[in-house]
Structure 1
Amino acid sequence: MTNETSNSVLSATRFPVAKLVALVSAGFVVVLTIMTMTQRSMYYATDQTDPGAAIMHFPKAQDIRLTTDDGLKLSAWKVIPEEPNGKAVLYLPGNGGNRLHRAEVGQALADEGFTVLLMDYRGFGGNPGEPTEEGLVCDARAALLELNDSGFANEDVLFVGESIGGGVAPQLATTQPPAAMLLRSPFPSLADAAEYRLKLPIGFLVWDQFDSLSYAPNLDMPVAVLAGSDDAIVPAKQSRQLADAFPNLIDFTEIDGAGHNDELWFGPFLAEQVTALANATAGAKP
């Protein structure tokens, strides 16, 4: 083969490879752009179903109307215990379903003596608005204010944060510190959770960071963290990473075989963990 022929062959093979690389790169950019622009629809599984009146689901409960700082009117439930223990739970849900899906754990907490505020963020449970990080924290602040207006000072309120609610709770706690926090399946940041799920280094593209890891070291209230060993959405090691950042970590419990949305998390077991945290917190006070 002459040099001229050899160069022709090399040139012919280079161009298809170069074109292929260019096409793949362009395709990747397009996919990444679409994912970036539609990301909130990916990690906020909004549910516009109206859960109905609270009294339909509990022996004693009230329908509550929350008013947010930015003027939204949000529906929520307040579950009333038969034998109040003087404490309230602000339940900060995850990014799917609505408060009806937390009715069992709400009643279980009430059975432990807690007054329970079950809220839905904007865009969930028939509520108006579109969810964002700032919006969810704003909604949680309105829910806490409702408990304050009902006679519960912050020192009488425990935050329970489920999944993305575990990203809302630490942020709210920076300005409105509760008596204690229990976080179930929390992530260090939403960017970390996204990178784990997608197996791509896309954290810098995530708009709503929920960077709990940056807030945790400055929060000195008692904290308990629960995680599942088989959680495919937020791995236990991520929850452990966040837990270790809290200066007053009371307990970290990893439940063997538990996934992210197992029934275990939505009933008496979780209520018992909240009671244990409340008792530990009361015991730690001088």
Structure 2
Amino acid sequence: MSPTPNPSAAHAMTPATLRTQWQQLPAALRAAIEQHTGRVHRAETISAGLNATFTARLHTETGLIFAKGTPSTRAAGQRREACINPYAQPIAPRLHWHIDIAGWHILGFEHLDGHPAELSPGSDDLPDVTRMLTQLTELKVPTTGCRRIEDRWADAAKQADTDPALLAGNHLLHTDLNPHNILITKRGARLVDWSWPTLGAPWIDTACTALWLIAEGHTPADAERWASAHPAWSTAQSAAIDTFTATSAALWGQIASNEPRPWKLRVRDAAATWAQHRA
């Protein structure tokens, strides 16, 4: 009997918190949102996504809006996302407004009609993802609002005994290219949830995507062949890719140890497999 294939890591991703419904939001917050949108006729709660407490498709007098929010005390990532949005165009959905009132921080984006990217072998979505990653390397670089990759990953690099300076650069990076953050639309792939905008080498987002390809069933060799089709990949020294894989293995080891959810364990194992392949 053939072994049962491992389930998709992306399919196992579920929200970290229960979703708050539109009617459960404070009345003052709902009124503030409707000052931007006109009357909200209907709100559809969206279950996809990991960190926001409120995510919904708002049917309003002025059209569809994707809104997400979280208590103001936990909104650092959303504030970074609002700051970086003008620089992430046209890959990110456009931010129309953001509100911080009644203890909530809410972002209102243009609504994208699409589906999360399928990154398994043979997926029809991969060409769109390839084109999007090329566009990523062409984004303008913000002057504020971003940490540098060598600082963000310093602890994991120390654990892996690698030199994070090999990852340094001045390109705007997303760094969280899980399939739910890559939406395939009629206009191509779009990238959502810019909670961790980072400056680093131009090939790093391609490497972050390649890690997810491995988690979704590709071999490390196949993932690297896929990555080699991206122009930025040719700028990466072999030692820098070794540093990325070893550091990622340490980083995802920490993440999975702190919260051993099934999808995090899958990505941890993928990162370890890639690091062993490089070694």
Q: TM-score, normalised by structure 2?
A: 0.30
The structure with more radius of gyration = 1
